[in-house]
Amino acid sequence: MNALVTRFAPSPTGLLHVGNARVALVNWLLARSTPGGRFLLRIDDTDPDRSKPEFVTAIERDLRWLGLDWDDQVKQRDRTALYREAADRLIAYGRLYRCYETPEELDRMRRRLRAAHKPPIYDRRSLTLTDDDRRRFESEGRQPYWRFKITPDSIAWTDLVRGSIEFNGRNLSDPIVIRADQTFLYVFTSVVDDIALGLTDIVRGEDHVTNTAVQIQMFAALGKAVDDFAFSHLPLLTDLKGEGLSKRLGGYSLEQLRDRGIEPMAVASLLAKLGTMDAIEPRISLDRLRAEFSMTKFGRAAPKFDPRQLDELNAKLLHEMSFTVAGPRLAALGLDGTAEFWDAIRPNLTRFDEIKDWYAVCFLPMAPVIADQAFANDAAQLLPSEPWDQDTWKRWTDAVKIGTKRSGKDLFHPLRLALTGRTEGPELKRLLPLIGRDRALKRLGGTTA
């Protein structure tokens, strides 16, 4: 039995959003959860006007940020000879035919059909053209484009997500596969590449279901049976209003999430579980997601992407992050943090970058906020000598409570303000030993420290 091979095939016409990333992640998990499985990255850059090299770079960067690697990468712009050879075979078989309508004429045809409440299916008028007709069109400067001829047969497959699917070929329009400028369209190049690259599993969004029906006939025309592939069509992510996410309409791109300080494993933890019955909880590694993965877990209902859920996952992930993981990241920020510091701060983090603010509170000069200087002076007089530990805060505040006759908010609020400049934050029993006696005395005295 051949090893499982999946692919992610983005078009480099924009930034990857969470909907794209979900398809990439599911393909990666499927491949990596199978012994010997391979995951391929194919850049579908057949549209020369919209495909941009900077988006190829962004796609690669975003996938790596998410933790995904690939076993091979190809770009469709480098594979024209392969497509030409396949097209020539289909022309010889009589499955590709020349057409001469202009874009304006095709648009008028579609509008007439819709006005008559008919599906916009091409009427195959080009099949009746004579050689004289073709010469006349070409003398007018028209260049032929090519369509794939669909046979009027049943097209059926068992989808791993959607179950049994069946189309009738007579209800499908012959797709354009070669433009008048002789460039190839995705619907055709994808088939040629899926065969050439040895694909076994094709996992993509449900917006490709009709494409799959057409492509199954293309596969057959090129010698591949429907049973040679496993097809899975995932329901598309929507926002909370049920509207689709789009890279062209300001959807949630991975670049935006990264810039907001979202952890890649928060994104992966959410996207891998949306549309399944599994609990959406932070997973610390892709290995954990891989061990839990199965295509059979995905349902047909459209899952909703909730950015608040992502924020919650992000915070939980940081709260559970060990110092072994966090330490090198602190060092990369130029912070000389310790395990004690990390353990004190992490329960209050929602973004890792917030650690810089708390580092400043604990170790750098800070202007205090003094609500009552007389009370602060009294509290300073009662500061115990060092060394300090997590019991120091209670011993000190118990003494201040007795000495000043204050309690509750009147006691703790002004002390937190003076020591941290904030009304909320990590437990002061953890922060106080990090701040140290010298800085605490200066801050209580109203001095920047």
pLDDT in tens, 267-303: 999 999 999 999 999 999 999 999 999 999 999 999 9
- The radius of gyration of the chain from alpha carbons, rounded to an integer in Å, stands at 31
pLDDT of 244 reads 77
Under 8 Å between Cβ of 272 and 313: no
Mean pLDDT of 171-178: 97
Q: How confident is the model at residue 239 (pLDDT cuts 50, 70, 90)?
A: confident
Q: Would you say residue 6 has pLDDT above 60?
A: yes
**pLDDT at position 2, please?**
76
Mean pLDDT of 143-157: 97
pLDDT in tens, 101-117: 999 999 999 999 999 99
φ, ψ for residue 168 (rounded to 5)?
Answer: -110, 125
For position 330, what pLDDT does the model report? Answer: 96
pLDDT band at residue 246 under the 50/70/90 scheme: low
Backbone angles phi, psi at 278, to 5 degrees: -65, 150
Cβ-based burial of 367 (10 A; exposed 0-12, middle 13-18, buried ≥19): exposed
Query: Both tokens of residue 103?
Result: 């874009």
- What is the model's pLDDT at position 251? 57
Q: How confident is the model at residue 243 (pLDDT cuts 50, 70, 90)?
A: confident
Element (H, E) at 251: none
Whole-number pLDDT of residue 411: 96
Mean pLDDT over residues 177-188, rounded? 95
Split at pLDDT 50, 70, 90, the class of 240 is confident
**pTM score, whole prediction:** 0.92
Q: Name, in order, each residue with C-beta under 8 angstroms of 422's C-beta and a sequence gap of 6 or more.
A: 361, 416
**Residue 100 reports pLDDT greater than 60:** yes
Chain segment 316-345, per-residue pLDDT in tens: 999 999 999 999 999 999 998 899 999 999
Q: Each residue of 406-446: pLDDT tens digit?
A: 999 999 999 999 999 999 999 999 999 999 999 999 999 98
**DSSP code, position 185:** P
Residue 359 CA to residue 367 CA, distance in Å, equals 14
∠ CA 139-186-119, nearest 5°, is: 75
Cβ neighbors of 143 (< 8 A, separation 6 or more) are 180, 181, 182
| Cα–Cα dist 355/335, whole Å | 9
Which burial class, exposed, middle or buried, applies to 266 when counting CB atoms under 10 A from its CB (0-12, 13-18, 19+)?
buried
Position 448 scores a pLDDT of: 79
Q: Which backbone phi and psi does 383 adopt, to 5 degrees?
A: -60, 130
H helix or E strand, kind and range, residue 77: none
Task: Give the other-Cβ count within 10 Å of 207's Cβ.
Answer: 13
Residue 322: its H or E element: none
Task: List, in sequence order, every residue forming a beta bridge with 147; answer none if it has no partner.
Answer: 97, 176
Helices (H), 178-263: 186-196, 209-221, 254-259
Q: Give the residue-averaged pLDDT of 367-382.
A: 93
pLDDT tops 90 at residue 245: no
Mean predicted confidence (pLDDT) in 347-372: 94
| Residues 110, 101 contacting (CB under 8 angstroms) | no
Q: Which two tokens mark 329?
A: 């990241």
End-to-end Cα distance, the chain: 69
How much is the pLDDT for 1?
A: 57
